[in-house]
Amino acid sequence: MSRNYFGTDGIRGRVGDHPITVDFVLKLGWAAGKVLTRHATGKKRVLIGKDTRVSGYMFESALEAGLIAAGVNVFMLGPMPTPAIAYLTRAFRANAGIVISASHNAFEDNGIKFFGGDGYKLNDEIEAEIEALLDQPLVTNDSSQLGKAQRVSDAGGRYIEFCKGTLPAGFGLSGLKIVLDCANGATYDVAPKVFRELGAEVQVIGNRPDGMNINHGCGSTHLQPLSSAVQEQSADLGIAFDGDGDRVMFVDAAGTTIDGDQLLFIIARHRHQNGGCSGVAGTLMSNLGLELALEELGIPFQRTKVGDRYVVEAMRDNGWTLGGESSGHVLCAELNTTGDGIVAALQVLRAVVDSGASLAELAGGMALLPQTMINVRLAAKGALPANAAIDAAVVAAETQLAGRGRVLLRPSGTEPLVRVMVEGQQADEVAALAEQIAAVVKTEVGEK
């Protein structure tokens, strides 16, 4: 389905550039309010949360005005992780939840994500309805039919208790020394409280947001500061979240990265050993090593298109409770309706505590195949255009790999990038092939 504004995870872009402008977001709030509450039988309620970007204040006010004009009552949560909004939308029996965030992007970007009343991200049909209404004039309700707004003061406490409640009664983290990197983002306040209240000794970095340092040299996309801190503190492990808290990555005691595929394996094997794991959903980017390790355990595995919404669809279709992406989106469907960095981290720590093994030992049960991914910035956002030279470069790489690996080119759903991924058995060969293909892509369709 062709969409003008919605990408793989809401609407995202550079602040001040259409559509991430105040006037557009105001109308988006009105259109979403009309569509998402059209079947409401009682009071119309929508929650709004945000990450720590300075532009969040501006867009929060714009959404609030648009929703109120549509007759919707607005509950303002302030800075909260994206998965917290998914949970609180259900807890408040709201019609929808809205998150103002550009996830792992720099502060110059922002975006709008939506959850339905069930806590799941919107399907294509509902997004299309919202887009269609954006083409209509904004009509403000009569004064007697306007919505109202209020702040929710205990949102953080509610989410902290929810996270702790995803573990068995009596489970604790006493004896573990952990370093957290909160990416100067939405988890900066709630995450340290969760792990401390469970008994862990916690050191925190990336917990001083100033509106402009979100994801800047920290968090799940920049693990070196966490790796250094873990080694300096002689900690057992480190945990890094992204700006909005729906992704998580770990480092072990030696500072070695443990990525989303390895975290999925650790959780899946723990569940397999304690009552069973019905299956795992991954994506086209998931490491082949994950598939092979799960196959050895007898756990079914299915790949989907890239994007956590597609992982969720596969999990729901198969009746599975576990899925995720290499980037650190880990979905535990019996616990929350979307990727939840804190909840996923707790599931990994449960495996560590129950097994008595170190994180490195648990991750060692899966052999990652060498994989190189290179991002090439495109001249324009959108699908990768047909190009004979690029096709030839891919065919040549696949011929050289001769069934010992795979090649994938995937345009980003949120940025004008194409991701060139090559996977195989030999790291040097994989890196060289990825460089060769990326060079052709840059020459043919890259930003000049």
The one-character DSSP state at 127 is H
Q: Which CATH number fits domain 159-168+175-363: 2.40.50.180, 3.40.120.10, 3.40.50.300, 3.50.50.60?
A: 3.40.120.10
| Dist CA 412 CA 103 (whole Å) | 14
- Rounded Cα distance between 263 and 430, Å, is 23
**Across 377-381, average pLDDT:** 83
Tell which residue, 362, 408, 199, 205, has the closest CA to residue 268. 362
Mean pLDDT in residue range 390-408: 93
Confidence of residue 3 (pLDDT cuts 50, 70, 90): confident
Task: Find the radius of gyration of the CA atoms of the chain.
Answer: 22
HSE-up of residue 165 (Cα within 13 Å, Cβ side):
10
**Domains of the chain: which residue ranges?**
11-153, 159-168+175-363, 371-445
Task: Identify any residues that bridge with 410 across adjacent strands, giving them in sequence order.
Answer: 419
pLDDT for res 384: 84
Query: pLDDT by residue (tens digit) across 233-280?
Result: 999 999 999 999 999 999 999 999 999 999 999 999 999 999 889 999
Specify the pLDDT at position 399.
Answer: 95
Q: What is the pLDDT of residues 185-236, one digit of tens each?
A: 999 999 999 999 999 999 999 999 999 999 999 999 999 999 999 999 999 9
pTM: 0.91
Q: Is 196 exposed, middle or buried (0-12, 13-18, 19+ CB in 10 A)?
A: middle
Do the beta carbons of residue 277 and residue 268 sit within 8 Å?
A: yes
- Our answer to whether residue 227 is catalytic in this structure is no
Question: Does the pLDDT value for residue 88 go beyond 90?
Answer: yes
Give pLDDT, residue 350: 98
Q: Would the pLDDT of 2 be above 70?
A: no
Alpha-carbon span 301 to 337, nearest angstrom: 20
Give the active site residue among 103, 220, 227, 326.
Answer: 103
User: Which residue's structure tokens are 């956590």?
Assistant: 308
> What is the model's pLDDT at position 59?
98
* 1 pLDDT above the threshold of 60: no
Burial class from Cβ neighbours inside 10 Å (0-12, 13-18, 19+) for residue 373 reads middle
Cα–Cα dist 315/307, whole Å:
13
Tokens in use for 76?
A: 């303002």
Fold of 11-153: Alpha-D-Glucose-1,6-Bisphosphate; Chain A, domain 3 (3.40.120)
Contact 247, 331 (CB under 8 A): no
In whole angstroms, what is the distance from residue 78 CA to residue 156 CA? 9
Q: Integer distance in angstroms from the first to the last C-alpha of the chain?
A: 30
pLDDT at 41 over 90: no
Q: What's residue 405's pLDDT?
A: 87
Has residue 395 got a pLDDT over 70?
yes
**Contact between residue 198 and residue 167 where contact means Cβ atoms under 8 Å apart:** yes
User: Do 371-445 and 11-153 fall under one CATH topology?
Assistant: no
How much is the pLDDT for 112?
A: 98
How is domain 371-445 classified at the CATH fold level?
Answer: TATA-Binding Protein (3.30.310)
More confident residue, 385 or 436: 436
Residue spans of beta strands (DSSP E) within 299-363: 301-304, 322-324, 330-332
User: Tokens standing for 202?
Assistant: 């916690």
What is the pLDDT averaged over residues 71-82?
98
